[in-house]
Amino acid sequence: MTTPVLGEPIAIEFANTLHAVRGKIRDGLSTSEGLTGWMRAMGERLPFALPAAAVDDAVLGQARELRNAIRAIADALANNREPTAADMATLNAVAGQAPRWRELRWAPQPHTVDRSAGPPAAAVLSALADEAIALFAGEARQELRACHGPGCVLHFVRDTPRREWCSPGCGNRARAARHYARTKRTS
C-alpha cells in the first residue's frame, strides 16, 4: 500500500501512514510488509538500514502504537489542546528503547555513521520517536496543522502563512467543494 509522502518532517510522514483515499481511511501499517515498505521508501531519511526480516508482528504493533501516539499529540497541538500523558508516555518509552549514537569515520572523507545497541527496526522506531519529540518541543509545533481538505486526515507543518492544506490536491478539492456548495445554493 502506498502512503502519501509530502516532504514533511519524518515524524509527521510516519503519522500520515494513516490516511484517507476518497474519504475512506487507509492504514499503511496494516501489515509488516506495509511498515517495511514505508521504512524502505523513507530510506535515506532514516538513520538505519533495515534488513529484510527486521519487521515482525511485535515491531508492527509497536510501530502502530507509536504512530497513533504521534497522531494524537499532533492533533492535540493542531487544536490547541494539551496532549494526554498516555500518548507522551508512549512516545518517550519508544524513544528510549534503543540507545543510539554517532561514530566518526575518516575514510574516504570525515563523516558520521549512526549506530544502535538495539535491533534495526527498534532503532528506527526510537529515532522516529526522537524526531517527534524534537518537533513537538520545538518552535515548529506552533505551525503544526491538520489538513482542512474534505475527508483528509493528514497533518503538516505550515511553511507559509496562507497554507491550509497538506497538498495542492487537497486545496483543489476544498475549492471545488466550496464552488459546488455555492452553485448548489444559487440554483
pLDDT at res. 94: 96
For domain 10-186, give the CATH superfamily.
Jann2411-like domain (1.10.3300.10)
- What span, in angstroms and rounded, lies between the C-alpha atoms of 153 and 130? 23
pLDDT at res. 5: 84
Going residue by residue through the chain (187 aa), what tens digit of pLDDT does each one get? Answer: 578 888 999 999 999 999 988 889 999 999 998 998 898 889 888 887 766 667 889 999 999 999 999 999 999 999 999 999 999 999 999 999 988 888 999 999 999 888 888 888 888 999 999 999 999 999 999 999 999 888 889 999 999 888 888 888 888 887 887 887 888 877 6
pLDDT at res. 162: 86
At a CB cut-off of 8 Å and minimum separation 6, what does 91 contact? 66, 69, 70, 73, 129, 132, 133
pLDDT at res. 186: 76
pLDDT at res. 52: 61
Q: How far is residue 1 from each of residues 39, 133, 155, measured CA to CA in Å?
A: 13, 27, 19
Centroid of chain to Cα 2:
14
